[in-house]
Amino acid sequence: MNQNIHDLFNLSGKVAVITGGSGWLGSAMSQALAEAGAHVVILDINNDAITTLIDSFKKEKLSVTGMCIDVMQDKPLRASIDKVAADLDRLDILINCAYAGPIPLLDDVRFEDIDKGLHNGPGAYCIAAQQAAKHMRVVGGGSIINIGSMYGMVTGYPDVYEGLTSPSSIVYQAGKAAIIHMTRYMAVYWAKDNIRVNCISPGPFLQRDIPERMPEFARRIAEKVPMRRYGQSYEMKGVVVFLASAASSFMTGQNIVIDGGWTSW
C-alpha cells in the first residue's frame, strides 16, 4: 500500500516523552517532535530550563509540557512515565537522552565511578524503556530511541584535548557502548510487540558557547571531521522524527551515526 510521505512523517496524535529534553541536543529533538505534531513531555532535573524552553515553544504554538524529576532515580522515573500515559491516555514515543555521570580521568577512575556511570547511562535508559514499553503495548506498539555517541564506537583522539581540557571519560564511553548494544537487545525482544528500538549516536556537537570560549579546542575538533566542522543541534531533528515516525516502520535495532564522517576515517 502506497503511503504519502507527509503522512509517514506525521506525528499528530502521538505522545512522546524525552528525558533530558531541555538540554543542548534534547531541546532540538523536543522541538522536532512537537513540530511534527506530537505532544511532547520533557522530563528533566533542571526546572528553570524546562520552563524557559516550554515558554519559547508555546510562542510557536507547539504542544509541549514538562516535569521536573531526577530521571536517574528508579521510582520517580517509573512514576513520571506512568503519569504521562495516564494523563494523556497513551504513550507512543520515548527518547532516552539524559545523562549525568562522572567523568574521571583513566588513572583516577574508581569502582564507584563505573557504578554511577552505568547507573546514570544504560541503567536509567533501560528502566525508562521498560516502563514505556508497558504503555506502548496498550496502543499497539511504539518507538524507543536511545541516544548513544560516536564515543560508544570509537575512542577520542588524545591530542584534541591535550593542554586544553579533560578527555572524554572512559566511564562515559563505556556507558555509550553499552547503550548501543542494549538497543539491539531491546529491539529483538520487543519486536513481537511492535515496539521498535533504535539508537542515534551523535558525533562532535559542541555546546553553543564552546567555539567562543575554547576556539582552539573547536578548531582541533573540526580538523578531525571529514566535513571540517562540528554539528549544530538542529541537525539532530530530522533523524529523530524519522525514527519516531512511520517513515522508519521496518527499522529496528539500528544505530544511526551523525558525526560528519568522523567514524569513517
Question: Residue 63 is placed in which grid cell?
Answer: 504542544
Asked if residue 177 has pLDDT above 90, the reply is yes
Asked if residue 133 has pLDDT above 80, the reply is yes
Q: How far apart are CA 127 and CA 38, in angstroms?
A: 23
Whole-prediction pTM: 0.96
Task: Look over the chain and give the mean of its residue pLDDT values, rounded to a whole number.
Answer: 95
More confident residue, 3 or 39: 39
Asked if residue 171 has pLDDT above 70, the reply is yes
Each residue of 57-74: pLDDT tens digit?
999 999 999 999 999 999
Q: What is the pLDDT confidence band of residue 76, given thresholds at 50, 70 and 90?
A: very high
Each residue of 187-228: pLDDT tens digit?
999 999 999 999 999 999 998 889 999 999 999 999 999 999
pLDDT of residue 1: 60
Structural domains in the chain, CATH included, are 5-257 (3.40.50.720)
- For 210, counting Cβ atoms within 10 Å of its Cβ (0-12 exposed, 13-18 middle, 19+ buried), the class is middle
Specify which residues 199 forms β-bridges with.
146, 255
Q: How far apart are CA 81 and CA 98, in angstroms?
A: 14
User: Looking up cell 512514576, which residue turns up?
Assistant: 79
Nearest to 9 by CA among 247, 251, 237: 247
What are the residue numbers of the active site? Answer: 172
DSSP string, 151-206: GGTSPPPHHHHTTTSPPPPHHHHHHHHHHHHHHHHHHHHHGGGTEEEEEEEE----
Looking at the chain, the whole-number percentage of residues with pLDDT higher than 70 is 99
As a whole number, mean pLDDT of residues 50-59 equals 95
